[in-house]
Amino acid sequence: MGKISENIAQVRAQIGAACASHGRSSGEVMLLAVSKMMPAAAVREAILCGQRAFGENYIQEAVDKITQIRAWEAAGETPSGSQWHCIGPIQSNKTRLVAEYFDWAQTVDRLKTAQRLHDQRPAHLPPLQVCIQVNIDGAVSKSGVAPADVLALARAIQNLPRLQLRGLMTIPDPEKTIKNIAIQDQHTATLRLFQSLVKAGVALDTLSMGMSADLTQAVGAGSTMVRVGTAIFGARPAASGATSFPDALSS
C-alpha cells in the first residue's frame, strides 16, 4: 500500500487535530475523498484503507468508475459499501444518471433539478441524499443558490419523497482561498445560514464545506464534511477545455 494510504492517514490526522483544537469529536466530520479524474484502481486503493465516501464531478466519468467498483465489490475483489457523491454541476440531461448511480447529490441549486432527480430516482433505491449548493460569496460566475433563496428551495425539496434533504454545500472562491482573504467570513456566513434553516424547522445534519486548502478553518467553523482530492490522490492530470478544474465550477 503506497502513497494513497499515507495521504489518507495524514488527512485524517489533520481532521482529527482540527477537531481537537475546536473541542469537536473527530466523528463529527466525515471525509469525502474526491476522486475525479483518478482511475478506479486509485479508488480501490482508498477503499482498502477503509475510505468509503467518494466525490465525483464529471457524470459520465463517474458512472464508468462506479460501474467498475460495483463490479469489483460484487465479485468480492473489493470491500463493499462505497458511497458516491455528485459534487459537480448537474445539467438537466445528466439528472437521470445522477439519480440512478449516485447516493448523494450535493450540488442541487434549482427546483427543476431537484424535481427531475426525484422523478428519476429508481424505486428500488433509497431516497437520494441531497445538499443545496449555496453561492455564499455572491460571485456572479458561480453556481449555487443565493442565500436568500435557500429556505424556499429547502421547503420545496422536503416535499419530494424520493429526495432526502441533508444540508448545505459550499465551494469557497479559489482565489480567496489562495490569498486567504475572507475565507473565514465565507465559512461563518455558511454556518449562520445553516443555523437559520434549522431554526426555521428544516432538519439538516450536513454542512459540506472545506477542501484541501481550507480544511482546518472549515472544521473550525462547523463543517461536518470536508471534500479532499489533491491531498489524497495527488495532483490531477491536466484536463483539456471545458472539463478542466476549476473552470467546471463556474458552468
Ligand X SMILES: *Cc1c(COP(=O)(O)O)cnc(C)c1O
Question: Residue numbers of the site for ligand X (CB under 6 A)?
Answer: 34, 36, 57, 87, 171, 211-212, 227-231, 245
Cβ 77 to ligand X shortest distance, Å: 27
In whole angstroms, the minimum distance from the beta carbon of 133 to ligand X comes to 9
Separation of alpha carbons 136 and 134, rounded Å: 5
Residue number with CB closer to ligand X (118 or 227): 227
Q: Which is nearer to ligand X, 57 or 82 (CB)?
A: 57
Shortest distance, position 123 Cβ to ligand X, whole Å = 29
Which of 189, 191, 229 lies closest to 207, judged by CA? Answer: 191
In the bound state with ligand X, the residue whose beta carbon lies nearer, of 14 and 72, is: 14
Angle between helices 3-21 and 40-48 (to 10 degrees): 60
What gap in Å lies between CA 40 and CA 69, rounded to an integer? 7
Nearer of residues 167 and 229 to ligand X, judged by Cβ: 229
- The residues that bridge with 130 in the sheet, in sequence order, are 105, 165
How far apart are the C-alpha atoms of 106 and 145, rounded to whole Å?
12
CB of 22 to ligand X, least distance (A): 20
The residue number with the shortest CB distance to ligand X is 229
